[in-house]
Structure 1
Amino acid sequence: MTVNAPEKVCVIIAAKDAADTISKAIASALREEAVGEVVVVDDGSSDGTDAAALAADDGSGRLVVARFEKNRGPSAARNHAIDISTSPLIAILDADDFFFPGRFAAMQAESGWDLIADNIGFIHHDPALAIEPERFQARTRQLSLIDFVEGNISKRGVRRGEIGFLKPVIRRAFMLAHGLRYDEDLRLGEDYDLYLRALAHGARYKVIDHCGYGAVVRANSLSGAHRTDDLRRLYEAERRLRQTPGLLKPEEARMVERHERHIKARYDLRHILDVKAREGKGAAIRHLLSHPASAPAVLSGVLADKWEAHAGKGRQSQPPVPAGKLRYLLPGVPVAQR
C-alpha cells in the first residue's frame, strides 16, 4: 500500500523593520519537516531586516529573501511571496512570532479542508522563555462564514480575541481557482478580508484545538498603529463584497453588514477625534452636526470610553498573564455559540 507524502508548506513572512525578531521566526519555520519553502519579503525596512533574514539560513536551500525598496504594506509583500513560491500549502507567519515545534503535523492529519487553523498562544513576556503549549482535547470544528464574521466582532471590556487572529494554512489550488489574493489597499484587516472572501467562495474552513502558533504581544506592534483611513478602507471592502450579486446568502449578507457597521462605528469615532485634535472641539461639533448619521456611533463610543475609564480606576481591567504561561485565543470552547 502506497502512502502519499504530506504536502509541503510554504511559510510566508512579510517583514518591516524586524531585524531583532526575524531570525527566531525563520528558525521556527525551517525546523518543521513539512516546510518546503520559507519566503521572506522585506517590506522597505531600514534596519537590515533582509541581512538578518539571510543570516538565519540553515543551508537547506529552502529560504528565499526578497526586498521592496519602498514600503508597500503587508498585503503587497504577501502577494509577492505567493507569486514567487510554489508549495501547495501556504502558511502566514508574522515576523515577530514563531511556530511551536510540530505545528503542521496535526493539521496535515486532517482532511476535507481548504483552510485549516490551530489555536494561538499569546505571549506577554520574554519569548525566549521555554514554553510548552497545552494540548487540548482532540477536536475539530467547521467554521461557517457566519461563525467567522460573528467571531470577529470585538466587545468592549473584553481582551481582544477575534477569530480573524487565527493563522490558517491555505490550499494554493483554492486561491488560484477563485482568483484570491490579499487586497493591497488594506493595511488593517487584510487577513480577515481574505478569509472572508474565501468563505464567500465556498471554502471549507476547519479549526483544530492543537496549539502551534506563538504570537508575541508587543506594545509597539505595527498592527496596533493603524490609521483612521485604514478603518474606512476595511468597511468599504466589506460593503463591496456584500453588494456583489449572487455571492452571499441573505443571512450571510446580514452578518457581514453587522460587522461592517461595527467597523464603520469605530471609523466614525476615530474620525471625529481626529477632527477635534486638528481643529478643536468647535470644528468637531460642526462636523457632527453636518453628518448626523454618524452621531449615534460617536456619542455611544465617547460615553463607553468615559465609562470604561471611570470603571477601570483603581483596578486592572484584565489580569496579568504570569511568566511562563500562555493566553490562548480559543480556550478549549466552541468557536461560536449563538
Structure 2
Amino acid sequence: MTAAAPTAVCIIIAAKNAADTIARAITSALSEPETSEVVVVDDGSTDETAAVASAADDGTGRLTVVRFEANRGPSATRNYAISISQSPLLALLDADDFFLPGRLRQLLSEDGWDLIADNIAFIDAERAATAVAEVKQFTPSPRLIDLAGFVEGNISRHGARRGEIGFLKPIMRRAFLDEHGLRYDETLRLGEDYNLYARALAKGARYKVIKSCGYAALVRGNSLSGRHRTIDLKCLYEADRAMLAEARLGAAAEAALRRHERHVRDRYELRHFLDLKNQDGFRSAIGYALKHPGALPAIVSGILADKSERLRRPRSPAPVALGGTGEIRYLLQE
C-alpha cells in the first residue's frame, strides 16, 4: 500500500438520523483536495442516513460508510473510524455541519502544531444554502493555547459572553495520539471532544487556533448537541477527577481543571434535583438536598440563575437556535 502524504486528512463523520444533512457534509469534505478519506459511521440510525451517505460518493474511492446496528455513542464511533483509517491527519465533521471551501488548505498552511483548529460560523439551518458567501473573512492571527486556557474557555458564566472552545473541530496528528495512547473516552456521551483535547494538552500537545473561519455549524432548536442526560454530566465531572488524579499538571492547569469539575458537578446536582422533583415529587427532591448539603449552593444558585436567564437575551455564540434571524455568529470574535 502506498504511504499517505503527510498532509493527507481523514475526515471522520459520526452520524445518527442525519439523512437530511449528511450528503452536504460529505460533499463539502470530498471537495477539499487535501481530503484523502471520509469515514462515515452511522451510529444506529432509524432513518436512511447510511443509504444517503453512500449515494454521496464522488467515485474517487475516498468514501467509506459503516453502519452500527445499535447506537454506541460518539466516542465509540469516532474511535472505530480512527481504527479503520490510514491518514496521518484526522479531522472531525459533524453530520449536520459542513466545511467552507479552502478550509483544510488554510489550516495546513500553518506549522508547529499537534492539533489545529479554526473559527466556527453558527448558521441557521434555513440559511445554510445561502450563508456561505456571507461568512466573514478573519485574519488568521494564530496563537497557541495551553491546558489552563483551554479548560477556562469551557467554563460558562451566567451573563457573560463566551466562546466555548471545546466546540472547535481541530485537525489532529495521528502520530501524537498514538504516541500517547490517546483515544476518545467511550464512557462519555457529553464533552468527549473537550476531554480528548484536554488530555492531549496535558501530554504536551501544541494546540494552535486561528481565527480564519472554515467550519459552518448548523443551529437548530432540536439539535442533538443541545440535549444530554443527567448521568452524562456525572460522567464528565468524573473524567475531570480522573485527569486530576492521573496527570501531573501545573498549578494554573490544575486550578482550572478543578473549577471545570466543580462547574460540571454543580450542573449535575441541579439537574439531578430537578429530575427527582419531576419523577418523584418535590418532597423527594428536598430530601435529597437535605441529605447532601454540599449540593445545596449549586441547586439554589442554579434555580435562581435559570429564572433570571429567561429574562435576558442569549449572549453566547454557542449552539443555540438563532430564531430564523439570518444572523451569523462566530465562536471566536474579532
Superposed pair shares fold, TM > 0.5? yes
Give CA deviations for 1:106-130 in whole Å, capped at 9, x if unaligned. Answer: 1111111000000000002421224
The residue type equivalent to 1:264 in the other structure is: R
The residue type equivalent to 1:258 in the other structure is: R
2:168 corresponds in structure 1 to 166
**Residue 211 in structure 1 maps to residue 213 in structure 2:** yes
**Residue 226 in structure 1 maps to residue 228 in structure 2:** yes
CA distance in 2, matches of 1:68, 1:308: 39
1:177 corresponds in structure 2 to 179
**Residue 7 in structure 1 maps to residue 7 in structure 2:** yes
Give CA deviations for 1:285-338 in whole Å, capped at 9, x if unaligned. Answer: 1110001110111111111122233x34xxx44596775542110012xxxxxx
TM-score (norm 1): 0.92
Structure 1 moving runs of 4+ over 6 Å:
none
CA distance in 2, matches of 1:37, 1:174: 19
Name the SS for the 1:32 alignment partner: coil
- Aligned match for 2:240, one of 238, 243, 268: 238
Contact 1:23 / 1:56 at 8 angstroms: preserved in 2? yes
Name the SS for the 1:235 alignment partner: helix
**Residue 196 in structure 1 maps to residue 198 in structure 2:** yes
CA distance in 1, matches of 2:309, 2:158: 8
Give CA deviations for 1:199-246 in whole Å, capped at 9, x if unaligned. Answer: 0000000001110000000111112110000000000001000111x5
Name the SS for the 2:130 alignment partner: coil
1:300 corresponds in structure 2 to 301
Superposition pairs of residues 248-267 of structure 1, within 5 angstroms: 248-267=249-268
CA distance in 1, matches of 2:115, 2:99: 18
Give 1:160 deviation, angstroms.
6.0
Contact 1:275 / 1:283 at 8 angstroms: preserved in 2? yes
CA distance in 1, matches of 2:138, 2:264: 33
Name the SS for the 1:156 alignment partner: coil
Contact 2:180 / 2:203 at 8 angstroms: preserved in 1? yes
CA distance in 2, matches of 1:324, 1:269: 33
Contact 2:153 / 2:162 at 8 angstroms: preserved in 1? no
CA distance in 1, matches of 2:155, 2:70: 33
Contact 1:129 / 1:324 at 8 angstroms: preserved in 2? no
Give 1:54 deviation, angstroms.
0.3
The residue type equivalent to 1:34 in the other structure is: E
The residue type equivalent to 1:45 in the other structure is: S
1:273 corresponds in structure 2 to 274
User: Please, which runs of 5 or more residues in structure 1 have no aligned partner?
Assistant: 333-338
Contact 2:121 / 2:331 at 8 angstroms: preserved in 1? yes
> Alpha carbons of 1:129 and 1:113: their partners in 2 closer, same or farther (altered >3 Å)?
same
> Alpha carbons of 1:94 and 1:160: their partners in 2 closer, same or farther (altered >3 Å)?
farther
Name the SS for the 1:122 alignment partner: strand
> Alpha carbons of 1:247 and 1:318: their partners in 2 closer, same or farther (altered >3 Å)?
closer
Contact 1:321 / 1:327 at 8 angstroms: preserved in 2? no
User: Please, which runs of 5 or more residues in structure 2 have no aligned partner?
Assistant: 317-321
The residue type equivalent to 1:255 in the other structure is: A
Contact 1:131 / 1:325 at 8 angstroms: preserved in 2? no
Contact 1:6 / 1:34 at 8 angstroms: preserved in 2? no
Name the SS for the 1:136 alignment partner: coil
The residue type equivalent to 1:124 in the other structure is: D
Contact 1:98 / 1:215 at 8 angstroms: preserved in 2? yes
Superposition pairs of residues 16-27 of structure 1, within 5 angstroms: 16-27=16-27
Contact 1:164 / 1:192 at 8 angstroms: preserved in 2? yes
Name the SS for the 2:53 alignment partner: helix
2:129 corresponds in structure 1 to 128
- Aligned match for 1:327, one of 326, 329, 332: 329
Contact 2:99 / 2:216 at 8 angstroms: preserved in 1? yes
2:82 corresponds in structure 1 to 82
CA distance in 2, matches of 1:166, 1:55: 28
Contact 2:123 / 2:131 at 8 angstroms: preserved in 1? no
Greater shift, 277-286 or 229-238, is seen at: 277-286
Number of aligned residue pairs: give it: 324
CA distance in 2, matches of 1:204, 1:234: 23
Give CA deviations for 1:110-157 in whole Å, capped at 9, x if unaligned. Answer: 111000000000002421224222111231010010110000001223
The residue type equivalent to 1:64 in the other structure is: T
Q: Over aligned residue pairs, what C-alpha RMSD do you find?
A: 1.8
Give CA deviations for 1:23-42 in whole Å, capped at 9, x if unaligned. Answer: 00000000000000000000
1:73 corresponds in structure 2 to 73
1:335 corresponds in structure 2 to none
CA distance in 2, matches of 1:152, 1:57: 36
Superposition pairs of residues 31-180 of structure 1, within 5 angstroms: 31-126=31-126, 127-132=128-133, 133-158=135-160, 161-180=163-182
